[in-house]
Each structure stands twice: as C-alpha cells, then as structure tokens.
C-alpha cells in the first residue's frame, strides 16, 4: 500500500513539475529602435508630414488671398456679396482649424500604419523563439514595466538575432 501511495505522490509531483510555466521578457521598443527598416518608416513619415504641410500651406494661401481681395474690394461689394465673401472666409478659417487639429491625428495614424509590419515581424520572430524554447508566457518590458527581470529569460537579443539585427548596446 505504501508503494502505491508513494508512486501516486511521485506521479503527482512529476506532473506538477512538468506543468510549471516558463516565462520570458522582451523589449520590443528596443528591438524596433535597432531595426534598419525604421529609417524607411521615418523617411516615409517625414514625407507624409511634408505632404500635409503643403496641403495646409495651400489652404492658408487661399485664405490669405481671399482675405486680401475682400479687404481691397469691400467698398465696392453689395451687402449680399459682402455676406457671401465673409461666409466663404469663415468657412476657410474653420477648414484650416480642423485641418490643423486633425493633422496630428493623421500623422499618428500613418505612423501606426507604417510601424505595424515591423511589430508583426518582431511578433512572428518572438513566437517562433517562444515555441522553440517552450516559453508559456512572454512579458513586454516598458519604461514603467517590470521591477526585476532576470537577463537569462530576456528574449530581446534572441529575437534581434533571428531578425538579423546587429545588437548595439544603448549608450549610457
């Protein structure tokens, strides 16, 4: 009877040991900052920003031209024409204000769109490494993240190596 109980206890203990999870960490922002593709994203984002600025300049120039024309010819306008020109100018002012407000959001959306493939690439490499090394959980390290991380379980360098990224230590 003792042998059966000991055998069952050994079986339960061995199952418990096998069921333990393996946890790792990754600093995806550091990997992203080291990816050569990030330069292309920055260039594309800069070009997009320049395009938006050019569109804004066209709107502002149109607005300034209409204001100047209105001021120069206001004396010769009839009341209905004055009102129409004023409404046109106010509409342009509102359009410019909305464009400026939405500009930051448009840039953020474009940045997210451009970075998404890079994050997906990092995620795919991480998934392959995590499965190969039998990690059950991987936490992302952020600036306000984990208080302590054992470097032995940090997958950041393994993912960078898998992606073919040269590992450059951050300057202190």
Residue 150 maps to a domain:
yes
Residue 11 maps to a domain:
no
CATH number at residue 110: 3.30.910.20
Residue 67 maps to a domain:
yes
pTM: 0.67
Nearest-10 Cα torsion for 43, 48, 50, 53 = -160
Which H/E stretch holds residue 26? strand 23-26
Per-residue pLDDT for the chain (172 aa), expressed as one digit of tens each? Answer: 666 665 565 555 555 545 577 888 888 888 999 999 999 999 999 999 999 999 999 999 999 999 998 898 888 888 898 899 899 999 999 999 999 889 889 999 999 999 999 999 999 999 899 889 888 888 888 765 655 566 777 888 888 888 888 877 666 5
Number of domains in the chain: 1
Domain membership of residue 111 as a residue range: 22-163
Residue 35 maps to a domain:
yes
Q: Which residues touch 138 (CB under 8 Å, ≥6 apart)?
A: 23, 24, 25, 26, 126, 130, 155
Residue 52 maps to a domain:
yes
Residue 172 maps to a domain:
no
Q: Closest by alpha carbon to 89, among 105, 106, 101, 73?
A: 73
Residue 28 maps to a domain:
yes
Residue 44 maps to a domain:
yes
């Amino acid at each position: 009877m003792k042998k059966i109980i000991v055998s069952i206890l050994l079986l339960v203990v061995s199952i418990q040991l096998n069921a333990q999870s393996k946890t790792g960490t990754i600093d995806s922002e550091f990997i992203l900052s080291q990816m050569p593709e990030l330069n292309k994203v920055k260039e594309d984002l800069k070009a997009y920003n320049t395009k938006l600025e050019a569109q804004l300049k066209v709107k502002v120039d149109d607005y300034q031209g209409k204001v100047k024309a209105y001021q120069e010819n206001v004396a010769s306008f009839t009341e209905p024409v004055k009102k129409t020109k004023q409404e046109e100018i106010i509409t342009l002012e509102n359009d410019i204000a909305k464009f400026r407000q939405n500009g930051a959001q448009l840039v953020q959306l474009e940045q997210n769109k451009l970075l998404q493939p890079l994050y997906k690439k990092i995620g795919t490499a991480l998934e392959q490494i995590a499965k190969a090394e039998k990690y059950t959980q991987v936490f992302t390290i952020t600036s306000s993240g984990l208080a302590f991380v054992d470097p032995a379980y940090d997958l950041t360098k393994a993912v960078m190596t898998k992606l073919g990224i040269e590992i450059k230590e951050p300057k202190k």
